[in-house]
Structure 1
Amino acid sequence: MTTTPTATATATTTELIDPRTGRVRGTAPLSREPEVAAAVAGARAALPGWRALTPKERGRRLDRLAGLVEEHVDRYAALERAGTGKPEAEAAGELEQVADLFRFYAAAARTRTAPAAGHLVPGHESWVRWEPVGVVGAVLPWNYPLLMAAWRCAPALAAGNTVVAKPAETTPDSLELLAEHAAAALGPGVLGWLPGDRLTGRLLVASDVDMLAFTGSGAAGADVAARAGIRRTSLELGGNAPVIVLPDAPAHTYAALAEAVTYNAGQSCAAPARVITLTENYEAVVAGLTKALGARVAGRDFGPLNNADQAARYDALVASSAAGYDVAGTVAPAAGEEGGHWRPARLLADLPADDPAVTEEVFGPLLTVQHSDGVAEALAMANGVPQALAASVWTADLDLGLELAARLDAGEAWLGCHLVQTAELPHGGRGASGHGTDLSTLALHEYQRPKTVTVRLGRTLDGV
């Protein structure tokens, strides 16, 4: 999340910038105490009716919402692209995932799993009820405005909670439309929209919500956790994904990594970041990635960085790197978009282990390459940073690849691919990458509380 430098507690609007051009594209409201209180009160009022619905009825309404996303997909795509600069194909693919997520959780809430139940104590019957937490405050990032909203809101809503969602300051557009459609499909107050800046987020955290779901930077996540107190939190705080490339890596490795690190201009928490080779294949990997990244053109194959603050942070990390090898690709924006936050695909190599481009999450279209003396050292280097969200291994040796995937400290590990995700598979971090689960049926329990119910039986049938 970023804040506009001129935004203050008394400001009522903020300017929105088109990242493709760097020019003002409109304004958005900044929610303060009255708006936050009203949104949370609306969600609180809607909660009894929403949680009382059967999973089947909630599922029908969530399916209706998915249908509205598909019916208005062109409007959603235009809003997503205005805030992020994503290419048309990226926006279209992500909107397809948004609709799929609401449909997935519409069905998943009807196929629950629970701990053991039945005759567990003599003379008693027991079972477990999964109950919603209540009102969920969701603070969302700018890199995938609508998709991350679906990651958080779909399971929370399916589990019987109501949600107040705060989009990032730079990308409020598509969530406003989703809230409009949610009011029609789910009912008033079930999914609220709260535009604003960092102060708005803090006001939401301090409000009368029962749980906080946050996706963003580590520093901001630590602040949310501190302010949340004893309330439940679900935190996804970024990554710095290692990529172990062994000498027998398949031929598609370089092109696949180049595509993954430039998807969304590298602004993905699970994007490949730190390539680690053995000494024997280091030069070949540097050469292969140089060629593959050189074929990816900013403005043609991928979009810009999201905002001026992010562009400045990225530039500072690149400038502070002590890399001996620094090669950048091509930037070719469309006519009229020369002033946007475009950055080329970049490769840094021959750099020290403590280089900031290695130790920090860059969040841009950049790969670093380091080498190790053996597989064990490569694994230690991969696990040598505080973030532990995602990782990948590239080798033709399936046994070795699976062993490395098992020993990588990451919530998600890929073998021979990267950034392959689907609604059925969980995603979540460890260590400095936060805690909690997005995606899959496991995410339902993120937004539920178990209640054990035990009944003493008045009488039994002897001999039965």
Structure 2
Amino acid sequence: MPSTATDPRTGVPRQVFPTLREDDIHRAVHSARLSAAGWAALTTGERSRRLLRLAAAVEDDAAAYVRSECAGTGKPRSEAEGEIANCVDLLRFYAGVVRGDLSPASGHRIPGRESWVRWEPLGVVGVVVPWNYPLMMAIWRLAPALAAGNAVVLKPAETTPDSVLLLAEHAAEVLGPDVLTVTPGDRETGRLLVASDVDAIAFTGSLQGGLDVHARAGVRRVSLELGGNCPAIVLPDAPAHTYEDLVAACTYNAGQSCAAPARVITLAENFDSTVSALAEAMRGRRAGADFGPLNNPDQLARYDSILNASKAAIREQGDVVVAPDERGGYWRPGVVLADLPDDDPAVTEEIFGPVLTVQAADSPEHAVRMANDVPQALAASVWGDSVSGLLGISRELQAGEVWVNCHLEQTADLPHGGRKQSGSGTDLSVLALTEYQRPKTVTVRIA
């Protein structure tokens, strides 16, 4: 049965997409496996050249990709343009690094023997990505997987398949048929892909979805990037730009970013000034002008449910400025919440919306304990003037990525990945290639 995607800006149905089921998934994975051998047999130089051609195709058709991203997510054009440029950069990055050498050991390691390590692709990788960054989250997964020599079968989110379906058209032209296959559908489609004959699964999404993937995957390779609920520790000597930067990062993509700042933790001595500065910055952020809507009715209901259950006081909220035909969309303002108990649902759960909570700690050490005292451990930031002190705090924070006096700044060159309930595995950087390869040691007896 086909599914109808809705424009989150208006709440109006916009397009019908197919929903694939078991036979469709079986055919997609079978075709990918037939193509995988030929793709893996190419030299790294040839795979690199084809990935560069795919990057050029995305860049040349960037306007169409931007339209697709805006239609599916409702995000402002400026956000979509920056994300498409980032996708092009990611493809070019992996086209380059795949020509390097990842071998951990080679040469004369055993008397009378020569040894080396071959990095071989896994085969067919099943990829399931969410709706918050439809193309970029797909590229994070498929670029290193393809560069490593795998074929990819990718299931996009039900509400946002547009840009990835366009990418599949370009991939068929420049990579070859069935090297990248997109299988649109609902959650059951994703479960069918995970349960199929793929050799590995890369999943980006919720904790519940990740646990389900892990249970279905068995002994196969699994890479999970799950929730964030990220802390930002703001010390009394934080620079003046701290508050505008945190609010901008919190409201980017309507706060629907796993690595976005969610929980601001201050000291008692700068609690009031921090709340006031964040409130002033939030007053200047407008949904409909500076950021887009929430993505779907389920996400809207989650946002409302957590805020309604919170015991916090709303210190400030921004405006919603939309056209009349957008008033049926999934719009919510940016919000600053203060005076929260440690067990408040707005603290313990990831809202995934444009909300900053503010809590007070007794000391920097207490602030670190509060930052670490949630199940998630994806990213964090710390803000202040003492570099040595900030670096010390960065070592104590339980997170796969820590920013100092900045937040939500990423590049293809540096790894990103979670700990605890935020998942396992690595996205970005040369390290992501190892998620989609396995080493084979070859040892030769010499005369």
Secondary structure of 1:165's match?
strand
1:395 paired with 2:384, answer yes
Q: Give the whole-Å Cα distance in 2 for the aligned partners of 1:324 and 1:20.
A: 28
Structure 2 partner of 1:200: 189
Structure 2 partner of 1:68: 57
1:454 paired with 2:443, answer yes
Q: Equivalences for 1:158-169 in 2 at 5 Å?
A: 158-169=147-158
Structure 1 partner of 2:372: 383
For residue 181 of structure 1, what is the amino acid of its counterpart? H
Structure 1 stretch displaced more, 330-339 or 132-141:
330-339
- The one-character-per-residue Cα deviations of 1:140-176 (angstroms, maximum 9, x if unpaired) are 0000000001000000000000000000000011110
Structure 2 partner of 1:57: 46
Structure 1 segments (4+ residues) deviating >2 Å: 324-327
Q: Give the whole-Å Cα distance in 1 for the aligned partners of 2:336 and 2:255.
A: 13
1:25 paired with 2:14, answer yes
The answer (yes or no) to whether the contact 2:130–2:156 under 8 Å persists in 1 is: yes
1:44 paired with 2:33, answer yes
Q: Give the whole-Å Cα distance in 2 for the aligned partners of 1:71 and 1:125.
A: 47
Structure 2 partner of 1:213: 202
Q: Equivalences for 1:271-420 in 2 at 5 Å?
A: 271-420=260-409
Secondary structure of 2:190's match?
helix
The answer (yes or no) to whether the contact 2:125–2:200 under 8 Å persists in 1 is: yes
Normalised by the length of structure 1, the TM-score is 0.96
Aligned length: 447
For residue 137 of structure 2, what is the amino acid of its counterpart? M
Q: Give the whole-Å Cα distance in 2 for the aligned partners of 1:427 and 1:335.
A: 40
Structure 1 partner of 2:133: 144
Normalised by the length of structure 2, the TM-score is 0.99
What's the CA shift for 1:327? 2.5
Q: Give the whole-Å Cα distance in 1 for the aligned partners of 2:231 and 2:85.
A: 28
1:106 paired with 2:89, answer no
Q: Give the whole-Å Cα distance in 2 for the aligned partners of 1:379 and 1:79.
A: 41
Structure 1 partner of 2:68: 79
1:123 paired with 2:144, answer no
The answer (yes or no) to whether the contact 2:282–2:316 under 8 Å persists in 1 is: no
- Unpaired segments ≥5 residues, structure 1: 1-11, 460-464
What's the CA shift for 1:113? 2.0
The answer (yes or no) to whether the contact 2:314–2:335 under 8 Å persists in 1 is: no
Identity of aligned residues (%): 63
Secondary structure of 2:359's match?
strand
For residue 235 of structure 1, the aligned residue among 224, 229, 232 is 224
Q: Give the whole-Å Cα distance in 2 for the aligned partners of 1:392 and 1:65.
A: 35
Q: Give the whole-Å Cα distance in 1 for the aligned partners of 2:120 and 2:36.
A: 12
- Unpaired segments ≥5 residues, structure 2: none
Q: Give the whole-Å Cα distance in 2 for the aligned partners of 1:96 and 1:325.
A: 36
Structure 1 partner of 2:4: 15
Q: Equivalences for 1:423-442 in 2 at 5 Å?
A: 423-442=412-431
What's the CA shift for 1:334? 2.5
For residue 445 of structure 1, the aligned residue among 419, 428, 434 is 434
Q: Give the whole-Å Cα distance in 1 for the aligned partners of 2:101 and 2:324.
A: 52
What's the CA shift for 1:439? 0.3
Query: What is the alpha-carbon root mean square deviation over aligned residues?
Result: 0.6
Structure 1 partner of 2:247: 258
What's the CA shift for 1:115? 1.1
What's the CA shift for 1:333? 1.0
Q: Give the whole-Å Cα distance in 2 for the aligned partners of 1:142 and 1:57.
A: 32
Secondary structure of 1:285's match?
helix
Structure 1 partner of 2:174: 185
For residue 258 of structure 1, what is the amino acid of its counterpart? V
Q: Give the whole-Å Cα distance in 2 for the aligned partners of 1:335 and 1:427.
A: 40
What's the CA shift for 1:326? 4.1
Structure 1 stretch displaced more, 360-369 or 105-114:
105-114
Structure 1 stretch displaced more, 116-125 or 302-311:
116-125
